[in-house]
Chains A and B, each alone.
Chain A
Amino acid sequence: MSDNSGGVTYYINHHLTHWSIGEGFWTIHADSLIVSILLGSLFCWIFWAASRKATEGVPGGLQNFVEMMIEGMNKLAKETFHGHNPLAAPLALTLFCWIFLMNLMDLVPIDLAPSTMEALGWDYFKILPTVNMNVTFGLSLSVLALIIIYSIKYKGPKGYLHELFFHPFNHWSLAPFNFALNFVELFAKPVSLSLRLFGNLYAAELIFILIATLTLSYGLFEVFTSLGGIFLLIGQIILATIWAIFHILVIPLQAFIFMMLTMVYLSMAAESH
């Protein structure tokens, strides 16, 4: 990292900028898309490989793990939904594993991806997809679509419309008020889902970056030769370690919360009032 072109500000900006292709709305954050699709494919491939070799005999290590996950999700879906629901369990599993893997990229050393890609000729490369609001909103808007589909499927278009306008206050004069209330409630769900995930990971990433800037003003040689440099280096290692350990907890927790809330929202949509 060179600090002669803007110093700390440049460093932080560089780490927070996506590799973008295109203009306007049709811009694509290629780094987020590539990493997230790779991770999703990894998830699918692992589970597919395990399912292809699935035997009814004594299961091996990978099959054991896959079966444990699948059984857990089946149980969750059965507990949340009344009756058979073929989509719920795979949806929950995909959400949890995918978000978990994407969050896991937070533990990749902070300079590794941007510096490597910079050396290879890319200007920007951010390896953590869940600090991109497009990614988290992509997930949560899909969930919103599912909520609406489930509502219509379980209550019928008429029943859902009736609920939108005549719930919670069953009087025609309060219909607009009801609708406004339900509208806000409906859209608060995806917004809270995605902003929670985004906020947690963004803050974490930012703190990792700030910890990394402790020794930024020293050159590689100076860090080891000056007293202040050694002091700051030790401090940085300790702080980054503590933060990373704390993050081992946050990463699966955020994935779990996203999955769990999705299940809860969908079961609420499937329930008639």
Chain B
Amino acid sequence: MEINATLLGQMIAFGIFVWFTMKFVWPSVSKAMQARQDNISDGLAAAERGRKDLETANEKADEILREARQKAGEIIDKANKRSNEVIEEAKSTARAEGERQLAAAQAQIEQEINQAKTELREQVVTLAITGATRVLEREVDAKAHNDLLSDLAKQL
């Protein structure tokens, strides 16, 4: 096996192939790979950001919910208090009204009693006069004794 010019041809070819690979294959493939790597890392970062956003949003939602619940509780409390107050007010109003009506009724009853007493007295007087008139017949002049009789009626 002799060494000859094939060796030189081989060396030149080798150099050309290495140069070609370095010049035309490497840059574009490396660029594409780098770009994809960037894309992937960007995507991962975006996903991470999204996850964090979701977390904060969830936290916020929880807080809002908690606040709303608290506010609702307060409102219910207030409403209960207010209703109690209204009930108390109504009760006191009703009580006052009842008392007033009772007093009015009592006053009316007293008045009616007095009236009845007066009527009764007059009727007794009349009855007495009638009785006396029957007893005395003509001896008694109604006119003459009228004063006496009204005095008597007043004393009753």
Q: A51-B29, A56-B39 are in contact. Are A28 and B9 (CB under 8 A)?
A: yes
Interface residues of B in 110-155 (CB under 8 A from A): none
Majority secondary structure, B binding face? helix
- Asked whether any CB of chain B lies closer than 8 Å to the CB of A105, the reply is no
- Does A142 contact B15, Cβ atoms closer than 8 Å? yes
- Asked whether any CB of chain B lies closer than 8 Å to the CB of A29, the reply is yes
Cα–Cα distance between A54 and B24 once the two chains are bound (Å): 12
> What are the residues of chain A within 8 A of B66 when measuring CB–CB?
none
Cα–Cα distance between A137 and B24 once the two chains are bound (Å): 26
Question: Nearest residue in A to B21 (C-beta to C-beta)?
Answer: A90
- Does B22 contact A87, Cβ atoms closer than 8 Å? yes
**Which stretch, A40-48, A154-162, A167-175, A222-230, touches the partner chain B?**
A40-48
- Does A138 contact B17, Cβ atoms closer than 8 Å? no
> What are the residues of chain A within 8 A of B18 when measuring CB–CB?
87, 90-91, 94
Number of chain B interface residues as a range: 20 to 34
Q: A56-B35, A56-B39, A67-B33 are in contact. Are A135 and B6 (CB under 8 A)?
A: yes
Question: Nearest residue in B to A129 (C-beta to C-beta)?
Answer: B10
- Does B36 contact A56, Cβ atoms closer than 8 Å? yes
- Does A55 contact B32, Cβ atoms closer than 8 Å? yes
How many Å from the CB of B7 to the closest CB on chain A? Answer: 4
Cα–Cα distance between A27 and B5 once the two chains are bound (Å): 6
List 10 A-B pairs, minimum CB-CB distance, nearest first.
Answer: A138-B10, A56-B35, A134-B6, A54-B32, A90-B22, A90-B21, A27-B4, A51-B28, A134-B7, A29-B6
A-B contact pairs, 22 of them (CB 8 A): A22-B4, A26-B4, A27-B2, A27-B4, A28-B5, A33-B10, A44-B17, A48-B24, A51-B25, A54-B31, A54-B32, A56-B32, A56-B36, A57-B36, A67-B32, A70-B29, A86-B26, A87-B22, A89-B26, A138-B8, A138-B10, A138-B13
